[in-house]
Amino acid sequence: MPRGDLYPDIAPYETGLLPLSAGHVMYWEQVGNPRGQPALFLHGGPGAGAGAIHRRFFDPNHWRVVIFDQRGAGRSRPLGDLRENTTPHLVADIEVLRRFLNIEKWLLFGGSWGSTLALAYAQAHPERVTGCVLRGVFLGRKAEVDWFLYGLRRVFPDAWAAFAEHVAPEERGDLLSAYLKRLCDPDPVVHGPAARAWSLYEGSCSTLLPSPETVASFAQDRTALGLARIEAHYFRHDLFLPPEGLLGNMEKIAHIPAEIVQGRYDMVCPCDTAFELAAAWARARLTVIPDAGHSALEPGVRTALVSAVERFRRRG
């Protein structure tokens, strides 16, 4: 897939491991200009981890980009660990990282679950946020989780059938419990295939047109285990969000500017959620991409994300 609208590949100028609570160790890296405008990249999932491609949304001459893998995800360790792995823990981890790197404020950039975590962090620490660039908005509500588990079969019946058929017929009325039981089993013979089935389902539904490259990236063992186990864990606990949800605390970030980029045919996080968020956020600008699904790497979405970051660059 041509990606000439992203910035060229770049290596980090600094990487590290940061000890957290309950034996977790966070992988982090910095990319771009060490004296540049700070930005924080928040990956999806929860549990998906970040990759080299995510460095390329930012002009390295201008931005000081911080990227990290959330608890249990990607290069953080232990992989797939659920101990003290909640949204409040992740929000606290971001503050630990900010203070460790001596950053006063930063731009938040996150898609899917990354948009959820960005909103949760911004509402907890609005004084530390200069703006938000959000994509494929997910607010963590029960209806959104139910859509992922069951509603997607209306659009992707083949992908959903493969997802459901991994568990016994009598368990398919509660797919989340059936998968959690397997994903939390210590035996790799049990949790490995379940993780791949969950992750392949999500990857198969993430683009407007079939993308073998996207599906293959979701099928990688490191991605699959972190994504599936942690995502199911968070789904079981209502994403560890407050009872009033994220929309119930929008007054805390009403002053913060935001750019929201949404694929019209995003089936993983349908478009109406982005519209609800934009309606509740006077300083948010919503851009709907008419020929895109959920993935940040679909042509129209990635172009719009780079443009959104550039608008924040001009804001200073």
Q: Give the active site residues.
A: 112, 266, 294
| Token pair belonging to 243 | 């009872």
DSSP assignment of 17-67 equals EEE-GGG-EEEEEEEE-TTSEEEEEE-STTTT---GGGGGGS-TTTEEEEE
Q: Is residue 78 reached through a cis peptide bond, with omega within 30 degrees of 0 on the bond before it?
A: yes
CB 129 within 8 A of CB 102: no
Q: Across 112-227, where does the E strand assignment appear?
A: 129-135
16 Rama sector, left if φ>0, alpha if ψ -120 to 50, beta otherwise: beta
Query: Rounded to an integer, what distance in angstroms lies between the CA atom of residue 294 and that of residue 262?
Result: 8
Q: How many CB atoms lie within 10 A of CB 264?
A: 15
Round to whole Å and give the CA distance between 22 and 66: 23
| Pairwise CA distance, residues 37 & 166, whole Å | 46
Nearest to 41 by CA among 20, 63, 71, 11: 63
CA separation, residue 104 to residues 97, 121, 144, 284 (Å):
11, 14, 34, 23
C-alpha Rg value of the chain to the nearest Å: 18
8-state DSSP, 280: T
